[in-house]
Amino acid sequence: MTLLAICLVLAWLGYHDLKTFFANPEPLTVTLAELEQNGAPREWLQITDGSFDLEQAINPSGEVETFKSGPFFVPMTGPDGSSEIRVVVETRRPEVIDILKRYVLDFSTAEEQQAFLKNNREAFHPQVSITGMTASWVTSTANRDKLLQLAKQQDMPVSQDVIFVSEGKEPGRYRGFFFAIVAALGILKFIQLTMRKQSGLAVNLPNDGT
């Protein structure tokens, strides 16, 4: 039964990946305002007409190592000036990591940090267009849950329906096919073993007439 359980899990993973792959032949372009108002129409999106708010960026690990390669959770904001955060991007952009690293690690006092922020206001609120996948899968959903937990701890106004986007992530091209093939072969093997076992039992059954 262990083999069958593993195969069924692989089949489910393969189905999900293939469904996502065929539903997203290319990224769908939406504006940030459309995304906030209507939700994500598909998993693979190109989001335009928004800005990063690096002042509210979250280091999800809380470790210094994050400043080497990321990722950071960064709110994406529009021109409407809403205080509620409805879209957050998981990003590893070098320029984002660099400015946050300088802000957090290069100064010893809050006054120095504030001066740096004042002199680099545009760098902390760059206009961006990002392409990535929404949190529709196990790892991404876990990151979204982690975001909500960290935001609550820091009293950030993050919507409970926040849309979490992993920048640079694309639908898997081959993983779904691989999972499906392995699952099919495993199920066939399970059927073969079951039939062989049943056949062996039939041969070895005692004859009541003897």
Q: Does residue 76 sit within a domain?
A: yes
Both 13 and 81 in a single domain?
A: no
The pLDDT, as a whole number, for residue 194 is 85
Supply the range of the domain harboring residue 20. Answer: 1-24+172-193
Give the rounded percent of residues in the chain with a pLDDT score beyond 70: 91
Residues 15 and 30 in one domain: no
Beta 44-52 vs 28-31: how paired, if at all?
A: parallel
Query: What is the value of pTM for the model shown?
Result: 0.81
Residue 32: alpha-carbon gap to chain centroid: 18
**Is residue 101 situated within a structural domain?**
yes
Classify residue 202: in a domain, yes or no.
no
Q: Are residues 67 and 125 both part of a single domain?
A: yes
Task: Centre a 10 Å sphere on the Cβ of residue 11 and count the other Cβ atoms it contains.
Answer: 17
- The CA-atom distances, in angstroms, between 93 and each of 17, 48, 97 are 26, 16, 6
For 134-172, what is each residue's pLDDT tens digit? 976 555 667 778 888 888 888 889 998 899 999 999 988
E strand map for the chain: 28-31, 44-52, 72-77, 85-91, 127-134, 158-167
pLDDT of residue 80 exceeding 80, the answer is: no
